[in-house]
Structure 1
């Protein structure tokens, strides 16, 4: 037996304070409802509402990993530019200046890898508690 959907043509008007409206908006954002009217209809008709819960420690880890990825990407770009420059060198003096820059980039990469290891260790300790 197929369920036919009726058009919604009846209105229900309510007045809210700014605080109430903001509270409802925040509650709707935590659910899978796409519109406030969907949320209100489910509440009024006592239908189940799916609420999304966020893991704050995971959110913090993700933001840290995103920043680390940006840093590693920037360092990778610097290495690529250095290698391209090395391929176009025509004099030994240019080579020695490139080597100095390479050593600085190498130290930056090693420091970033150490930072990543520390962040992963912190996350592992948090999750394994």
Structure 2
């Protein structure tokens, strides 16, 4: 089946005030149309226009989760570096208990960070749909 070659060679010019044009651009940006001409053509020809819908509270929640993820990664990295430095003191008997305890805390922290990251990833996947 061949696709019909449609040359658009007719122009219909319309003038807008600045306020009208800003309103038009705002509506256009809320659609899935790639070009303003496509949007205007659909409006004029009464064709259906698909619009994007975003939940602002979910957007804010996702921004907060992203910030928390960065902080958790930084904390985990700092904690990991501290534990590695403690391991250099392993030869001193007083530090052995401290090292063993910090190692258990490190594992627990890293597990929690990983669990939180998986939850954030699941939420982000739903958010991006």
For the pair 1:8 / 2:4, whether they are aligned, the reply is no
> Secondary structure of the equivalent of 2:6?
coil
For the pair 1:35 / 2:35, whether they are aligned, the reply is yes
* Superposed displacement of residue 77, structure 1: 1.5
Give the corresponding residue for 2:67. 67
Give the corresponding residue for 1:125. none
Higher mean C-alpha deviation, range 4-13 or range 50-59:
4-13
Give the 3 Å change call, closer, same or farther, for CA 50–91 of structure 1 in structure 2. Answer: same
Please give the TM-score of this superposition, normalised by the length of structure 2: 0.64
Cα distance in structure 2, aligned partners of 1:74 and 1:46: 53
For residues 91-110 of structure 1, what are the structure 2 equivalents within 5 Å?
92=92
Cα distance in structure 1, aligned partners of 2:16 and 2:89: 71
Give the corresponding residue for 1:120. none
* Superposed displacement of residue 23, structure 1: 0.8
Runs of at least 4 residues off by over 3 Å: 87-92
For residues 49-68 of structure 1, what are the structure 2 equivalents within 5 Å?
49-68=49-68
Aligned residues: 105
* Superposed displacement of residue 91, structure 1: 7.2
Where structure 1 has 5 or more consecutive residues not aligned to the other structure, the ranges are 117-129
- Computed over aligned residues only, the root mean square deviation of the Cα atoms, in angstroms, reads 3.2
Cα distance in structure 2, aligned partners of 1:25 and 1:89: 64
Give the corresponding residue for 1:123. none
Please give the TM-score of this superposition, normalised by the length of structure 1: 0.64
Where structure 2 has 5 or more consecutive residues not aligned to the other structure, the ranges are 117-129
* Superposed displacement of residue 29, structure 1: 1.1
